[in-house]
Amino acid sequence: MVKNLKTISFSGLDSQLEKNRSDINKALKNVLDSCQFIMGKEIETLEQKLASFFKIKYAVTCANGTDAITLSLMAIDLKPGDFVIVPDFTFVSSIEAPVQLGIKPILVDINKDDFSINIEHLKSVINVNKKMGYKIKAIINVDLFGMPSDYSSLLKICKENNYYLISDAAQSFGTIYNNAPISNYADITTTSFFPSKPLGCYGDGGCVFTKSKKIADKIKSLRLHGKGFNKYDNKYVGLNSRLDTIQAAILIEKLKVFPDELKKRKEIANFYMKNIDKKEILPKERENSKSVWSQFTIKTSLRDDLKLFLQKKKIPSAVYYPRPLHKQSAYKHFSNKNLTFCNSENASKRVLSIPIHGYLNQKQVKYITDALNNFFGKE
């Protein structure tokens, strides 16, 4: 290892806290002094700042990213027996939320390059399920690793079929598609504030974004047990899904430095793209779009060997995800046996995410790059 090279963190959470500890401590003290731990004033402040950042009218916080999807499905009145389309290669929350509500998921394959929904496979899946008489009501899209999906095609399909489009942006808060935030395209966009996300708190947290006052108002009620005029007047069957005030205070402080962190992520991604010699392993960024680079995910058939090699070099890495949804024990029965998921299966065997965050220094980034070049140079 290079002499005096500081330990490389995969998420950067430790360095982020070290740099911003003073401001975060002040914010926490204000909450503790107020004793308003549930739905304190910081909740509304955060929601206003999030909506402004994402350039959308309404932001409604909740307890976590999974609940954000669940609340979205409840807000558009999806019922048990309805169907939604979900990408096969994603974190389990995207399918878990509808299944918990009795809504049936229909899985679709992803693209080879950007891991988002494969439009041709989507069209095929829709045609197959229409013939079977299934009532598809929505598409849950996922912008995996911070990469924006093909929203133009998704919106066209949703309009033609009268589907809702829900965008699971747990990894892509801040992503741009055709010069506009991705929240501009979907009926509802959700995100997660899990600590390792680009904008993460120090616990669980989530948010729902929408242009619709009707949807926003309903989600505000649903997250508070279906609250009506007051908490003892419940007009919906809802959830207990409030973001607590302490996490809101932390997120307000983190949002202040978020644009600079995104800039640094982009700089690191550009360095990797330019200086990693084996270009075929690199991710592909969609034209006219900007990723937030939640993860920098490469693909190689030598994934397991590379992971071990990096481990010996004290470089952390992670596999997102080792098994597609159609092979998960809890969800494999939702898979149509007549459809294949070649790209999802291929990705699960080849993907490896390497460190990328706002607190890596240039020496660390070069060390990681040199290690990759050294590994593939031995092929």
Judgement on whether residues 228 and 369 belong to the same structural domain of the protein: no
Q: What is the DSSP letter of 189?
A: E
Judgement on whether residues 212 and 267 belong to the same structural domain of the protein: no
Chain centroid to CA 333: 25
- Give percent of the chain with pLDDT exceeding 70: 98
Judgement on whether residues 249 and 120 belong to the same structural domain of the protein: yes
**Strand-strand pairing, 206-210 and 58-62:** antiparallel
Judgement on whether residues 209 and 97 belong to the same structural domain of the protein: yes
Judgement on whether residues 268 and 145 belong to the same structural domain of the protein: no
Does 263 map to a domain?
A: yes
Q: Tokens 């229909």, residue?
A: 106
Asked if residues 94 and 140 have their Cβ atoms less than 8 Å apart, the reply is yes
Number of domains in the chain: 2
* pLDDT tens sequence across 165-197: 999 999 999 999 999 999 999 999 999 999 999
Does 364 map to a domain?
A: yes
Burial letters for 354-379: b for 16+ Cβ neighbours within 10 Å, e otherwise?
A: bbbbbbbeeebbebbbebbeebbeee
Could you tell me which residues come within 8 angstroms of residue 278 by beta carbon, excluding any fewer than 6 positions away? 300, 372, 373, 376
Judgement on whether residues 240 and 270 belong to the same structural domain of the protein: no
Specify the pLDDT at position 69: 98
Q: What is the amino acid identity at position 207?
A: C
Q: Which residues pair with 352 in a beta bridge?
A: 298
Backbone conformation region of residue 249, classed left if phi is above 0, alpha if psi is from -120 to 50, else beta: alpha
Distance between CA atoms of 167 and 117, rounded to whole angstroms?
11
Residue 338: give its domain's CATH number: 3.90.1150.10
Q: Tokens 């302490």, residue?
A: 246
Peptide bond into 236 cis (omega under 30): no
Does 190 map to a domain?
A: yes
Judgement on whether residues 268 and 216 belong to the same structural domain of the protein: no
Mark which of 195, 225, 253 sits at the end of a domain.
253
Q: How confident is the model at residue 218 (pLDDT cuts 50, 70, 90)?
A: very high
Could you tell me which residues come within 8 angstroms of residue 234 by beta carbon, excluding any fewer than 6 positions away? 225, 226, 227, 228
Judgement on whether residues 308 and 189 belong to the same structural domain of the protein: no
Specify the pLDDT at position 2: 52
Mark which of 221, 253, 285 sits at the end of a domain.
253
The number of residues in the chain equals: 379
Judgement on whether residues 174 and 299 belong to the same structural domain of the protein: no
pLDDT at position 129 over 90: no
Judgement on whether residues 71 and 137 belong to the same structural domain of the protein: yes
Does 4 map to a domain?
A: no
Give the structural domain span for 179: 14-253
Does 180 map to a domain?
A: yes
* pLDDT tens sequence across 236-279: 999 999 999 999 999 999 999 999 999 999 999 999 999 999 99
Distance between CA atoms of 208 and 61, rounded to whole angstroms?
6
Does 3 map to a domain?
A: no
Does 2 map to a domain?
A: no
Specify the pLDDT at position 379: 59
Residue 166: give its domain's CATH number: 3.40.640.10
Round to the nearest angstrom and report the end-to-end CA distance of the chain.
22
Asked if residues 365 and 268 have their Cβ atoms less than 8 Å apart, the reply is yes
Residues 97-108, mean pLDDT to the nearest whole number: 97
Helix axes 362-377, 245-275, angle to 10 degrees: 50
Q: Which residues pair with 80 in a beta bridge?
A: none
Q: Tokens 């660390």, residue?
A: 364
pLDDT at position 378 over 90: no
Helix axes 245-275, 41-54, angle to 10 degrees: 30
* pLDDT tens sequence across 21-66: 999 999 999 999 999 999 999 999 999 999 999 999 999 999 999 9
Judgement on whether residues 65 and 205 belong to the same structural domain of the protein: yes
Judgement on whether residues 30 and 140 belong to the same structural domain of the protein: yes
Q: Which of 1-10, 78-87, 131-140, 313-322 has the lowest mean pLDDT?
A: 1-10
- List the Cα angle 291/297/301 in 5-degree steps: 150
Asked if residues 82 and 137 have their Cβ atoms less than 8 Å apart, the reply is yes
Specify the pLDDT at position 1: 47
H-run or E-run covering 262: helix 245-275
Residues 308-337, mean pLDDT to the nearest whole number: 94
pLDDT at position 131 over 80: yes
Q: Tokens 């505000």, residue?
A: 220
Does 7 map to a domain?
A: no
* pLDDT tens sequence across 4-17: 577 999 999 999 99
Mark which of 200, 224, 253 sits at the end of a domain.
253
Residues 282-298, mean pLDDT to the nearest whole number: 93
Q: How confident is the model at residue 340 (pLDDT cuts 50, 70, 90)?
A: confident
State how far the alpha carbon of 24 is from the alpha carbons of 18, 41, 199, 252, in Å: 10, 16, 14, 9
